[in-house]
Amino acid sequence: MLRITFIFFFLLLNPSHALTQTYSEAVPIVRISPIYPAEALQNKQEGWVKIKFDITPQGTVDDPYIIESQPPKVFDRAAIEAIFKFKFKPRIVDGKAVTATVTQTIEFNLPRNQSYQAKNDLSAYQIEQLKFELKSHKQKGRYKNTLYVSEIKNNKLIKKIKLPDSKTDKGYFAQHPKNPFLFFYYSKNKKKGEIQIYDKKNLELQHTLKTDAAIITPFEQRRFYFFAANHSKLLAYLGTKRKPTLYQIDGQSGKITGQLKLPKYTHLLREENTDYIWAQSYRNTKSKNTLKFINTHTMEVFRELDLVHKLVSDTYWRDSIQLIFDYKNEDPRYRVRTLNLTKNKFLEDFYSSSYPKIHYINDELFYIGNESGESKHLKIAKQYNNEMIDVTNPDINIRLNAGDFYYYDGVLHLVVFGKQAVAKINMTDTTDYQLVKVPIDASGGLVYKPKDRVYLTEENDASVAMVDFKQNKFIAEQNTGDPGRKFGQILASIAVTALTAPTGYAITPLHGFSRSNNKLFLNHAGTRLFAINLKTNDVTSFNADDMSDKHIVATGKGTFQIIQGSHEPDLPMVAIGMKKVTFMNAADGRMIKQIEYDKPLEISNNHELVYLKDENVFSVSLAYLPE
């Protein structure tokens, strides 16, 4: 049977204040069981969907959206369609009904005679064929943790294991493709936790360790506090932020085989194979901040740096780490130090007066920047076989804003977007280059190789420009957007939704973070350029040959993506926004049709936009013009 679990967290909307609290009395007056998706039923899939929505003063459901689901997207539409039919007793504050925001998890469970076997044998599968995922959701003040095992090729659920509840934070799961063990951590209270070690082959519990609490650092994903190594070991960062310790735990024996005490307020970062960790201390006032490099096999610090200058970036590539330091008022302002981790040796430093860009191309790592002093010409170096090779051509005078690499007839070229110039450089011989002056500061752009053109976006402004490298000249500049439309996009819409494109990457509105007001797109025929203006919420299109025939279409709040359904050149260009989808003629940019909605939900694998409208779920094909 299908079971629905309710987990409520309310935000009371009041003109004078907003109060977040748990309201246990909130129960549905009318509850509708979702329709089990036929495909999921056929594949014997189970899962859950976590939804956030408002309960209105009238007790109806408003503005639902999916926070998380497992398996992704399988049950999303069924859950949304069902929640709209629910009716709740409204929350009463000071004698008045108020709007409350609630988070709910709906679980989809098969009838017992159709469900997977709880002790399903995994021996029929190769470990490489399986995906292990931990999902956590909060219920009655505790975090419920479940391990899902599914086939990678079809996402079919094979096994599900209920793991212990966490008290103060969600459970944490650690694995590595080369590690035969799975590691699960859950908190017992604010100071103590427990680690369980499972064998991947049969998911049997091998060992349990009582530990200090894990150190939670809510920063970017690479700042780890608990993760698996690739040599049957677990590396766990435990203790407190003032007294942290890195532990090495052997999966086979379940014993601690090494530990390393670190300075207070230390972040951990690691490379992909987990052979090395670098630990950065911060917020130390009495002592210097440091960067320690740790060998995870021996648990020894083999290199330590005093961070006299600000460390603004660290990247890893093939047993080496690139550290970018900011010297602020000095010239050159930036310094890149590259440490070979296996040899514990620094390569030659790379200096730049502009913020350096680092790119990985095949077996080479490229550093791009600008010379210091009066010249400030472009600087280029490449790292190959653990050597730094200077390939700078001092005749290339362009102030770097951005750059990217492209192959032209099998030869690697660098396209540089800079201050009132754009350059195209042959990387096998940097004396072979083209540099074209333009009337804007180019923050980036779109390279169209078939006709050897570059379309440029303006730094912190709304102009676009075109350069033809075949003619080696600037062609035209145009403004985008309707100057009378000033409402713009807002940062709040970033968190509203993230749509998944058929190609598998996340499409998330990036309002407020772009260095230009524009995002550029070409139709498949390469005959028309489309530019989303992120401030005026419209799309401006031009003839791609000379930037003529300008046309503006108002595409509405939160327009963040343009796609053309397939590689057929006659299909429409489709602009997707937070409130409407706009179909445009790919040849001339004129609007053909618009569909308004309350909220977009997803882009399905068959090129359909799924959206909410008047509490109903609809879909429209993005590959063809709707009737």
Overall average pLDDT of the 509-529 stretch: 71
pLDDT (0 to 100) of residue 570: 80
pLDDT over 80 at 606, yes or no? no
Q: What is the 3-state secondary structure of 482-511?
A: CCCCCCCCCHHHHHCCCEECCCCCEECCCC
pLDDT (0 to 100) of residue 10: 39
One domain for residues 460 and 534: no
pLDDT over 80 at 514, yes or no? no
- Asked if residue 251 is part of any domain, the answer here is yes
Residue 108's CB is within 10 A of a number of other CB atoms, namely 24
Overall average pLDDT of the 50-66 stretch: 86
Q: What percent of the chain has pLDDT over 70?
A: 84
- Asked if residue 113 is part of any domain, the answer here is no
pLDDT tens by residue, 162-200 = 899 988 888 888 888 778 889 999 988 888 989 999 988
Q: Which residue has the higher pLDDT, 5 or 192?
A: 192
pLDDT over 60 at 286, yes or no? no
What is the domain-level CATH number for residue 97? Answer: 3.30.2420.10
Highest mean pLDDT among 316-320, 538-542, 557-561: 538-542
One domain for residues 455 and 565: no
* Cα distance between residue 112 and residue 117, in whole Å: 9
Residue 387's CB is within 10 A of a number of other CB atoms, namely 9
Residue 574's CB is within 10 A of a number of other CB atoms, namely 25
One domain for residues 288 and 202: yes
Q: Contact at 8 Å (CB) between 336 and 323?
A: yes
DSSP one-letter code for 86: -
pLDDT (0 to 100) of residue 550: 94
What is the DSSP code string of 368-427? Answer: EEE-STTT--EEEEEEETTEEEE---TT----EEEEEEEEETTEEEEEEEEEEEEEEEET
**Final residue in a domain of this structure, among 257, 276, 308:** 308
- Asked if residue 626 is part of any domain, the answer here is no
DSSP one-letter code for 214: B
Q: Which residue has the higher pLDDT, 463 or 154?
A: 463
CA distances from 101 to 16, 56, 57, 294 (A): 17, 9, 11, 46
Highest mean pLDDT among 143-157, 209-223, 477-491, 494-508: 143-157
Overall average pLDDT of the 142-161 stretch: 83
pLDDT tens by residue, 313-351 = 888 888 899 999 999 888 899 999 999 999 999 999 999
pLDDT tens by residue, 460-475 = 888 999 999 999 999 9
pLDDT over 50 at 557, yes or no? yes
Give the H/E segment covering residue 306.
strand 300-306
CA distances from 615 to 62, 85, 581, 583, 604 (A): 8, 9, 18, 23, 20
One domain for residues 508 and 602: yes
Peptide linkage before 15 cis (omega within 30 of 0): no
Q: Which residue has the higher pLDDT, 1 or 505?
A: 1
Q: What is the 3-state secondary structure of 562-588?
A: EEECCCCCCCCEEEECCCEEEEECCCC
Give the residue from 545, 538, 555 showing the smallest Cα distance to 448. Answer: 545
- Asked if residue 178 is part of any domain, the answer here is yes
pLDDT (0 to 100) of residue 605: 62
Give Cβ neighbours of residue 362 (< 8 Å, ≥ 6 apart). none
pLDDT over 70 at 57, yes or no? yes
pLDDT (0 to 100) of residue 484: 62
* Cα distance between residue 593 and residue 40, in whole Å: 34
Give the H/E segment covering residue 592.
strand 591-596
pLDDT (0 to 100) of residue 284: 56
pLDDT (0 to 100) of residue 554: 93
What is the DSSP code string of 219-260? Answer: S-TTSBSEEE-SSSEEEEEEE-SSSEEEEEEETTT--EEEEE
pLDDT (0 to 100) of residue 616: 80
pLDDT (0 to 100) of residue 439: 94
pLDDT (0 to 100) of residue 276: 87
What is the domain-level CATH number for residue 350? Answer: 2.40.10
One domain for residues 150 and 290: yes
Overall average pLDDT of the 559-585 stretch: 86
Q: Contact at 8 Å (CB) between 185 and 195?
A: yes
Give the residue from 451, 450, 454 showing the smallest Cα distance to 425. Answer: 454
Of the candidate ranges 157-166, 444-453, 489-498, the one whose mean pLDDT is the lowest: 489-498
What is the Cα 113 distance to its own chain's centre?
39
* Cα distance between residue 183 and residue 198, in whole Å: 6
Overall average pLDDT of the 126-145 stretch: 84
- Asked if residue 297 is part of any domain, the answer here is yes
Overall average pLDDT of the 520-526 stretch: 90
* Cα distance between residue 326 and residue 344, in whole Å: 23
Give me the domain span that covers residue 432. Answer: 396-479
Task: Say what the pTM is.
Answer: 0.71
pLDDT (0 to 100) of residue 318: 84
Q: Which residue has the higher pLDDT, 11 or 192?
A: 192
pLDDT over 80 at 112, yes or no? no
pLDDT (0 to 100) of residue 229: 64
What is the domain-level CATH number for residue 600? Answer: 2.130.10.10
pLDDT (0 to 100) of residue 433: 96
pLDDT over 80 at 225, yes or no? no
What is the domain-level CATH number for residue 142? Answer: 2.40.128.630
Q: Which residue has the higher pLDDT, 217 or 437?
A: 437
* Cα distance between residue 313 and residue 270, in whole Å: 13
* Cα distance between residue 334 and residue 353, in whole Å: 6
Model confidence at 228, pLDDT cuts 50, 70, 90, reads: low
One domain for residues 328 and 293: no
Structure token digits, residue 337: 């130090």
Overall average pLDDT of the 423-437 stretch: 95
Per the structure, the count of domains in the chain is 5
Q: Contact at 8 Å (CB) between 32 and 85?
A: yes
**Final residue in a domain of this structure, among 392, 416, 450:** 392
Highest mean pLDDT among 227-231, 463-467, 519-523: 463-467
Give Cβ neighbours of residue 74 (< 8 Å, ≥ 6 apart). 37, 39, 40, 45, 47, 155
One domain for residues 69 and 161: no
pLDDT (0 to 100) of residue 155: 73
pLDDT (0 to 100) of residue 324: 94
One domain for residues 298 and 196: yes
Of the candidate ranges 440-449, 534-543, 563-572, the one whose mean pLDDT is the lowest: 563-572
One domain for residues 408 and 556: no
One domain for residues 71 and 35: yes
**Final residue in a domain of this structure, among 108, 134, 156:** 108
Of the candidate ranges 175-179, 214-218, 225-229, 386-390, the one whose mean pLDDT is the lowest: 225-229
pLDDT over 70 at 25, yes or no? no
* Cα distance between residue 554 and residue 535, in whole Å: 12
Residue 369's CB is within 10 A of a number of other CB atoms, namely 28
- Asked if residue 99 is part of any domain, the answer here is yes
Main-chain dihedrals φ then ψ at residue 576, nearest 5 degrees: -105, 130
Q: Contact at 8 Å (CB) between 551 and 584?
A: no
Overall average pLDDT of the 76-97 stretch: 84
pLDDT over 60 at 495, yes or no? no
499 dihedral zone (left: phi>0; alpha: psi -120 to 50; beta): beta
- Asked if residue 627 is part of any domain, the answer here is no
One domain for residues 140 and 221: yes
pLDDT (0 to 100) of residue 9: 39
* Cα distance between residue 610 and residue 312, in whole Å: 40
pLDDT tens by residue, 92-111 = 888 888 888 888 888 887 75
pLDDT over 80 at 552, yes or no? yes
- Asked if residue 485 is part of any domain, the answer here is no
- Residue 41 three-state SS: helix
Give the residue from 119, 154, 149 showing the smallest Cα distance to 134. Answer: 149
Please list, residue by residue across 337-366, b when 16 or more beta carbons sit within 10 angstroms of its beta carbon and e when fewer do: bbbebeeeeebeebbbbbbbbbeeeeebbb
Model confidence at 283, pLDDT cuts 50, 70, 90, reads: low
pLDDT over 90 at 453, yes or no? yes
Main-chain dihedrals φ then ψ at residue 532, nearest 5 degrees: -80, 125
One domain for residues 465 and 497: no
Model confidence at 416, pLDDT cuts 50, 70, 90, reads: very high
Q: Taking all residues of the chain, what is their mean pLDDT, rounded to a whole number?
A: 81
Give Cβ neighbours of residue 9 (< 8 Å, ≥ 6 apart). 20, 22, 101, 102, 103, 138
